[in-house]
Amino acid sequence: MKTLCICVCIMGIASLNKIFTVPSFGQSNPSMYQRYPSSKGQYSEKGQLQAEMIRLAESGAQEDFEKLGEYAANQEAMTRRMAATALGKSKNKDTYELLIFLLDDENRQVRSAAALSLGKLKDAKAFDQLMEVAEKDDSSDVKGSAIFAIGQLGTEKALDIVIASLNSDLTAVRSNAAATLATAEDKKVIDPLIETLKDKEDQVRMRAAQSLKMLTGQDQMVENLSKESVEKGYQIWRDWWAKNKDTFKIAKRGPSGMARKWIETYDKDKNASLNEEELTAAIEAMYKGGPTIQKGETLNRDVRLRQLDGSDKTLSELMKGDSLIYYFSSKCMFCIKAESSIKGLFSEFKDRGPKIIGIASARDTTESLKTYVEKAKFEFPVYLDFRGEFSSKNHVPGTPNVVIAGSDGKVKEYFRGLSEKNVSQVRNAIAQ
């Protein structure tokens, strides 16, 4: 186990007196740490801990970054992993060095999280360290995360490495390589991604198909993961590319909705009194599924969803009256925290309100969703957005989200997130 002394020496952010005041979890500041138990605690408490670290990372204050450094040197691997994840949102000058430190952690999940956060920094100097991890780490998952991170760096050299990694012997590396190419802005990735549609592993083929869809805007995804359909899906893409490759251009991703709002406001601000740091950060934000769904819009109800028994249904088949669509993921800590809220709404309105339909994002699989639903004890029907159609075609960003719509698909209310703060608003919307 690496010591906090080594960590802080690398960071150069604290004195020796401070180093020895944090020997283990919970001893430095009991009032802070005791709110968050160890990995044996509840998911909601883990979620609170992660949220606390993200707040520290985003604050920009040096003292908050030092607190995050204490988490990064914690004796518990779960805590170090969360710190590594949060560091992907930090702009502190010492963030890079701290992540390099965590990249050598004894725990593979910590190393994996550190690699992914290095990619988010988009600092080209991380290339050599990430390449070393991709070549030498003893965990295929960590190697895969390193390849994904390399792809996020955006350099020509990094892009070539990721393309080459599509031929790796390791499934995790091929899968992450296919996923990270979704953000490439060079059409030379299309050919190798199409070839990856013939990969022997389901998850790699699906990642390649999803990346192709994001890069091209085309919907010719592999219909399912059976061996019989793989060749068909591959040939559809190959034929399309043969017709379009000479004229096709990958459009650069534009600013997010938040960025556009800031730009419009900034243009009207004659006194230049806006926060330019926030404006810059907003402009750098990238599209993630396009514009956000709005009240009054009509849902695309032709999207296909997978039932837990493996059969498919369209959204129109499920919406026979007013419906509350709960969009979530079993891998989302905020969704796990929202379990009690959505179950409470179901219990309160099951006999007199809209039908609650759970839709899990494409981050899940049928098997992982079955396990989660059984554990969460959801009593409302749950389906899998296995091709990402519900999210992409209806512009529902992230998880959790709540959409209330009529049988005609018209959106009556939309709520970003489902937390203690807005569950009363959802309740009032249902009651009305």
108 and 2 within one domain = yes
- In whole angstroms, what is the distance from residue 35 CA to residue 12 CA? 28
pLDDT of res. 11: 43
261 and 374 within one domain = no
Residue 207 lies in a domain: no
pLDDT of res. 27: 31
pLDDT of res. 35: 35
pTM here? 0.52
Q: How confident is the model at residue 366 (pLDDT cuts 50, 70, 90)?
A: confident
- In whole angstroms, what is the distance from residue 78 CA to residue 422 CA? 29
With CA atoms as reference, report the closest residue to 117 among 138, 95, 141, 132: 95
pLDDT of res. 241: 93
Q: How confident is the model at residue 251 (pLDDT cuts 50, 70, 90)?
A: low
Mean pLDDT of 157-171: 92
Cβ atoms of 99 and 68 within 8 Å: the answer is no
260 and 344 within one domain = no
Q: How confident is the model at residue 334 (pLDDT cuts 50, 70, 90)?
A: confident
Residue 367 lies in a domain: yes
- In whole angstroms, what is the distance from residue 331 CA to residue 335 CA? 8
pLDDT of res. 31: 32
Does pLDDT of 387 surpass 90? no
20 and 92 within one domain = yes
pLDDT of res. 252: 56
25 and 90 within one domain = yes
20-43 pLDDT, tens digit each:
233 232 333 333 333 333 333 444
210-221 pLDDT, tens digit each:
888 888 877 665
Residue 180 lies in a domain: no
6 and 116 within one domain = yes
Final residue belonging to a domain, choices 86, 121, 156: 121
- In whole angstroms, what is the distance from residue 204 CA to residue 200 CA? 8
Does pLDDT of 19 surpass 50? no
- In whole angstroms, what is the distance from residue 404 CA to residue 353 CA? 11
The amino acid sitting at 379 is: E
Q: How confident is the model at residue 405 (pLDDT cuts 50, 70, 90)?
A: very high
321 and 260 within one domain = no
Cβ atoms of 87 and 11 within 8 Å: the answer is no
SS3 of residue 416 by DSSP: strand
Final residue belonging to a domain, choices 58, 86, 121: 121
State how many domains the chain has.
3
pLDDT of res. 13: 37
Residue 228 dihedral angles phi and psi, to the nearest 5°: -65, -30
pLDDT of res. 323: 92
Residue 155 lies in a domain: no
Q: How confident is the model at residue 225 (pLDDT cuts 50, 70, 90)?
A: very low
Residue 115 lies in a domain: yes
Residue 131 lies in a domain: no
Mean pLDDT of 232-242: 88
pLDDT of res. 407: 86
311 and 269 within one domain = no
266 and 348 within one domain = no
**CA angle (135 as vertex; 131, 138 as ends), nearest 5:** 125
**For residue 71, what are the domain limits?**
1-121
Dihedral (Cα; 35, 38, 41, 42), 10-degree rounding: 70
Does pLDDT of 328 surpass 90? yes
367 and 418 within one domain = yes
SS3 of residue 272 by DSSP: coil
Residue 166 lies in a domain: no
Which three-class secondary structure string do you get for the chain?
Answer: CCCHHHHHHHHCCCCHHHHCCCCCCCCCCHHHHCCCCCCCCCHHHHHHHHHHHHHHHHHCCHHHHHHHHHHHCCCCHHHHHHHHHHHHHCCCCCHHHHHHHHCCCCCHHHHHHHHHHHHHHCCHHHHHHHHHHHHHCCCHHHHHHHHHHHHHHCCHHHHHHHHHHCCCCCHHHHHHHHHHHHHCCCHHHHHHHHHHCCCCCHHHHHHHHHHHHHHHCCCCCCCCCCHHHHHHHHHHHHHHHHHHCCCCCCCCCCECHHHHHHHHHHHHCCCCCCCHHHHHHHHHCECCCCCCCCCCCECCCCCEEECCCCCEEEHHHHCCCCEEEEEECCCCHHHHHCHHHHHHHHHHHCCCCCEEEEEECCCCCHHHHHHHHHHHCCCCCEEECCCCHHHHHHCCCCCCEEEEECCCCEEEEEEECCCCCCHHHHHHHHHC
β-strands 323-328, 401-405 pairing: antiparallel
Residue 253 DSSP code: P
419 and 312 within one domain = yes
267-298 pLDDT, tens digit each:
555 454 555 555 455 444 433 334 577 888 89
In terms of residues, how long is the chain? 432
Instruction: Supply the DSSP string of 38-70, one letter for each residue.
Output: -TTS-HHHHHHHHHHHHHHHHH--HHHHHHHHH
Residue 203 lies in a domain: no
Does pLDDT of 56 surpass 80? yes
What residues pair up with 306 in beta bridges, in sequence order? 312, 384
Does pLDDT of 423 surpass 50? yes
Mean pLDDT score of the chain: 79
pLDDT of res. 417: 82
- In whole angstroms, what is the distance from residue 367 CA to residue 266 CA? 48
SS3 of residue 411 by DSSP: strand
pLDDT over 70, % of the chain:
78
Mean pLDDT of 81-95: 91
325 and 274 within one domain = no
pLDDT of res. 263: 55
Final residue belonging to a domain, choices 58, 88, 121: 121
Instruction: Find all residues with CB under 8 Å of 4, minimum gap 6, and list them.
Output: 19, 22, 23, 69, 70, 73
The domain that contains 335 carries what CATH number?
A: 3.40.30.10
- In whole angstroms, what is the distance from residue 130 CA to residue 136 CA? 10
With CA atoms as reference, report the closest residue to 87 among 71, 105, 63, 108: 71
